[in-house]
Amino acid sequence: QAWIGGIRAGSFPSCGSHVKASCRWIAFNAEAAGVLGIVPLECEDGGKRTVSQLCCHSDVVTDFDFSPFDQLLLATGSADETVKVWRLPESGQDMPGGAGLTLGPGGGPVDGRQFPPTADGVLASGAGKRVTVWDVGQQQPLTALDSHGDQLQSLTWKRDGRLLGTSCKDKKLRIFDPRAGSAASQ
C-alpha cells in the first residue's frame, strides 16, 4: 500500500542483511560504503518520509540488526572488522554522530551479527572463523566459538535463545550451546 521512492540503496554483494525494520525505523544498505539509509516507519506531516544517512563504518556495512528488547538499538558489522552499537533517536531528531560503543576488531570482516531473542544485552558476531558472543553492557566477550574450518557465512539464534546455529564455507552447519562454549552438533 505505501512505498518509499527515491532512495539510493547499495548493490554490492554481501552475505548479511540488506534491509531491516524496528517498530520505529527502517534501515537499509546505502549506495556509499559504510553508510546505512535510515527512514522512519511512520509517516509524519502528510506522508512525507525523510531519508537520513547513518555513517557507520570506514568500509562496507556487511550486516545489521535491531535489538528485540530496545527498538532504537541498532548493531552494525563491517568489513572494517568492527561491530558498532548505535542508539537511534526518537522520530524527528538528528542521527547520532558516533556509535554508542565499538566491539572488535574481530579478526576479519564481520560477516554476521545478531541479538538473541531472549537475552537483553547480549550480541553474537561472526568474523573469519570465529563467533564471539558479547556482553554489550560490559563490552566484553562472554565466549568465543572457534571450531569453524573455513570462513563463517551466517549465524542465527534458536527462538528460545539457548542454541546458536552457524553456516560456513566448509559446507557444514554447526549448532552451539554458547554457555558450554563448544559445538553441540556438526
> What is the pLDDT at residue 1?
45
Averaged pLDDT, 118-147: 89
Residue 138 scores a pLDDT above 70: yes
**pLDDT tens-digit profile of 5-60?**
555 555 555 555 678 889 889 899 887 888 998 888 877 666 667 788 899 998 98
Report the pLDDT averaged over residues 54-68. 90
- Least Cα distance to 83 among 60, 117, 53, 106 occurs for 106
Total-model pTM: 0.83
Between 3 and 181, residue with greater pLDDT: 181
Sheet of 19-21, strand order: 19-21, 25-29, 35-40, 52-55
- Stretch 59-72: mean pLDDT, rounded? 90
- The residue assigned the cell 563491517 is 78
Quick one: which of 117, 120, 123 has its CA closest to 102? Answer: 123
Which CATH topology does 19-176 take? Methylamine Dehydrogenase; Chain H (2.130.10)
pLDDT band at 164 (very low <50, low <70, confident <90, very high): very high
What's residue 92's pLDDT? 67
φ, ψ of residue 11 to 5 degrees: the values are -140, 30
Say if residues 93 and 126 touch (Cβ distance below 8 Å): no
